[in-house]
């Protein structure tokens, strides 16, 4: 079969729009062939326009629908109608769809070790919580803001499950999505294997015709938790013993051994009345987030839509798909 003629018809071109909705464009092409039983896919391809190509007058409207029908009394003429529309979910291939992000904030109960000791407008000056004799007060709790971000995206196989296992419970070692090291932690990491039938991603044997195919991909969900004070563990630097010249000794007051924990500084007993210091411990592994996860976008869902290592798109399948069926 051969295409003898293909031309766009200006009669019938449309733009439909309603208040609060996106415009829909229509383009019509007439195609003439030389056979009574032609290949419909080749007829649809005759205008040379691919799926998701932009409309010539609106770069934000993409080709998302193609209709073919025999036109008039002649069996050799066919009408091809293309529909363009603005949409975030126009991609049929799963891993070409934009990533989704959701955000939530809540309060979590954490140990209280310090308080804001400055003025009501001073959010920087902090002091260890103690009583009037400068003894640390223990067993106190406070509410601390915890921000959670959930990422959902589709990726071609294989799924890097070994890396996923390592990242669960890990903190960021780099500056990532507005947070410094140790501020982000992966709360959960999951992937679900899915199969979809996608039209026109593979060639039929012995011809250039594209036929539907089942595509396997992974729907990945990752939850990140943000804490501005970092995810390190903190506790008082207090105890009953001190280290003098490399030897552990009991802390004493007036020759008597201390009956309660004493504030320490570098392992040595502090003077009576001095407030205790804080010890900080890293209890979660630190990994680079920048090379594993896409950055949180500001507005555009396609922004920073990078792949996870090992989750690479099938370029040949995508190129085949972007041809009109």
How do residues 153-191 score in pLDDT, each as one tens digit? Answer: 998 888 888 989 999 999 999 999 989 999 999 999 999
Give pLDDT, residue 68: 92
Residues with Cβ within 8 Å of 110's Cβ and at least 6 positions away in sequence, in order, are: 141, 142, 143, 144
Rounded distance, CA 64 to CA 44, Å?
13
pLDDT beyond 70 at 270: yes
Identify the residue with better confidence: 1 or 111. 111
How do residues 64-100 score in pLDDT, each as one tens digit? Answer: 889 999 988 888 999 999 999 876 555 567 887 888 8
Please compute the mean of the pLDDT values over residues 128-142 and round it to a whole number: 80
pLDDT beyond 80 at 223: yes
Give pLDDT, residue 112: 85
**Tokens (6 digits) for 12:** 């019938």
pLDDT beyond 80 at 245: yes
Identify the residue with better confidence: 68 or 272. 68
Rounded distance, CA 64 to CA 277, Å?
64
Give pLDDT, residue 103: 92
CA angle 216-315-297, nearest 5°? Answer: 85
How do residues 280-322 score in pLDDT, each as one tens digit? Answer: 999 999 999 998 898 888 744 444 444 444 444 444 444 444 4
Task: Give residue 200's pLDDT band: very low, low, confident or very high (50, 70, 90).
Answer: low
Please compute the mean of the pLDDT values over residues 257-275 and round it to a whole number: 87
Give pLDDT, residue 90: 53
Please compute the mean of the pLDDT values over residues 202-223 and round it to a whole number: 73
pLDDT beyond 80 at 210: no
Cis omega before residue 158 (within 30°)? Answer: yes
Q: Enter the pTM of the model.
A: 0.63
Please compute the mean of the pLDDT values over residues 102-111 and round it to a whole number: 87
Rounded distance, CA 304 to CA 297, Å?
7
CB 210 within 8 A of CB 201: yes
Please compute the mean of the pLDDT values over residues 35-44 and round it to a whole number: 87
Give pLDDT, residue 241: 93
Average pLDDT, the chain: 82
DSSP structure string for 154-200: EEPSPP-HHHHHHHTTPEESS-BTTB-TTSEEEEEEEEEEEEEEEEE
**Phi, psi at 29, each rounded to 5°:** -125, 140
């Amino acid at each position: 079969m051969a295409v003898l003629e293909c031309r766009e018809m200006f009669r019938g071109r449309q733009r439909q729009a309603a208040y609060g909705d996106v415009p829909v464009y229509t383009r019509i092409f007439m195609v003439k062939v030389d056979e009574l039983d032609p290949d419909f896919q080749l007829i649809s391809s005759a205008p040379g326009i691919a799926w998701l190509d932009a409309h010539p007058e609106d770069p934000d409207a993409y080709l998302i629908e193609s209709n073919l029908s025999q036109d008039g009394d002649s069996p050799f003429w066919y009408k091809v109608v293309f529909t363009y529309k603005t949409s975030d979910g126009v991609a049929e291939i799963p891993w070409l769809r934009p990533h989704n992000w959701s955000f939530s904030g809540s309060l979590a109960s954490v140990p209280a070790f310090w308080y804001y000791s400055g003025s009501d407008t001073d959010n920087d000056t902090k002091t260890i919580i103690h009583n009037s004799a400068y003894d640390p007060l223990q067993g106190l709790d406070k509410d601390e803001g915890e921000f959670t971000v959930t990422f959902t995206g589709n990726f071609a196989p294989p799924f890097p499950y070994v890396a996923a296992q390592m990242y669960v419970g890990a903190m960021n070692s780099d500056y990532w999505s507005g947070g410094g090291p140790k501020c982000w932690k992966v709360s959960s990491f999951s992937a679900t294997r899915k199969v979809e039938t996608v039209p026109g991603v593979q060639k039929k044997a012995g011809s250039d015709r594209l036929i539907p195919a089942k595509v396997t991909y992974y729907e990945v969900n990752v939850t990140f938790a943000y804490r501005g004070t970092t995810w390190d563990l903190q506790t008082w630097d207090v105890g009953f013993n001190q280290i003098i010249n490399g030897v552990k000794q009991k802390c004493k007051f007036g020759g008597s051994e201390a009956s309660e924990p004493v504030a320490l500084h570098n392992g040595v007993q502090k003077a009576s009345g001095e407030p205790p210091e804080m010890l900080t411990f890293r209890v979660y592994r630190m990994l680079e987030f920048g090379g594993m996860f896409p950055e949180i976008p500001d507005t555009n869902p396609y922004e920073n839509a990078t792949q996870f290592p090992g989750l690479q798109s099938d370029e040949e399948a995508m190129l085949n798909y972007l041809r009109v069926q």
